[in-house]
Amino acid sequence: MNAYTDQPKEIRPGEELDRVRLDAFLREAVPGLDGELEIKQFPGGHSNLTYYLRMGGREMVLRRPPFGSTVKSAHDMSREYRVLAALHSVYPYAPRPLAFSDDASVIGDQFYVMERIVGTVIRRELPPGLTLTPDQCRGLYENLVRVQYELHSLDYQAVGLGDLGKPEGYVRRQVEGWSRRYRNARTPDARDGDAVMDWFAGHVPPDNDRPGIIHNDFKLDNVTVSPDDPSRVIGVFDWEMATLGDPLMDFCNSLSYVYQEGDPPEMAVINTYPRVMHGTMTREEMIALYEALSGRKIGDIHYYYAFGLFRLAVIAQQIYYRYYHGKTRDERFAFMVVATNTLVDAAARSIERAG
């Protein structure tokens, strides 16, 4: 195996699976399996749990909700499985699903199993020893935009996902929902954000006349690239929030993760892209490429980008809220309010540019 491929680790205490019951399920549900079942865990991610399975020469991945979760709608494995089943044959970056179970007697909750795509996941720090040339960096950014646009341009009716979501009024529902979440999670040391939220509510763009399938968390560390060519995207993961909606909102949610030269230094605190890559595209260049692929200008780009920043602020604040109120002692979360305030301020600056 290439040294740069994403490696599973030992299972975290308290997140073990019932090996005997899972083994029996897999042998019945997935034809052709033999050998002893090996189970490990992929360490990334903050929501659903992801496990590595191996039986004989067959490598698979299992996804299940976090232990103790009570919000079933946020961890609907059957929905994620259905999305992959519909997409795999028309969108080669979607892993091939193999089996689904809602029988809690197997591992304690619903889950699904998919084929493993062997590749490299690039996170905030490049894998040790991996370097990318400027041309490879630029190629990677270009491929991220192209692969995301390919998803947006699929005929969702033709692939059987016409009832996955409701495109009409999508942006307004997003504004109302994320604003409500922010107000519910606000702490005294967080920006009030009222001016930003009021502006979003008062300037909602019209419904996109080209709605599409949107991933809702499309970013660098949710894709895998070829171990032999790190500029080539070969897989897209974490489909739990996929729905039908405005592709421009999905694209600009992705842009909000991109930190570039000229951004205020404090924005680096939320950067999830490696800082050592040279030759990367700017957000403006990524926008221009998306416009070229879609054949139309993005007229409300500052609105969508500002909202992408605000959405990240809400996510950071929800995490910080748990720390502030003593629901977690994880000291990593103590700084999250800094990210919240940084992102709310950045959203406000983008709104000023729109004005």
- Structural domain boundaries in the chain: 19-115, 134-354
Q: Which tokens in the block code for residue 301?
A: 């780009």
Q: pLDDT tens-digit profile of 230-281?
A: 999 999 999 999 999 999 999 999 999 998 888 888 888 777 777 666 778 9
Nearest Cα to Cα of residue 340 among 122, 174, 176, 178? 178
Statement: residue 1 has pLDDT above 50: no
Pairing of strands 212-214, 243-245: antiparallel
Q: Once rounded to an integer, what is the mean pLDDT over residues 179-189?
A: 97
Q: What is the CA radius of gyration of the chain?
A: 21
Tokens 């709104």 found at: 351
CATH topology of domain 19-115: Phosphorylase Kinase; domain 1 (3.30.200)
Q: Cα–Cα distance between 303 and 122 in angstroms, integer? A: 29
Is the pLDDT assigned to residue 130 strictly greater than 50? Answer: yes
Whether domain 134-354 has CATH 3.90.1200.10:
yes
pLDDT, tens digit (0-9, with 9 covering 90-100), for 202-218: 999 999 999 999 999 99
Of the candidates 241, 320, 313, 322, which has an alpha carbon nearest to the alpha carbon of residue 74? Answer: 241
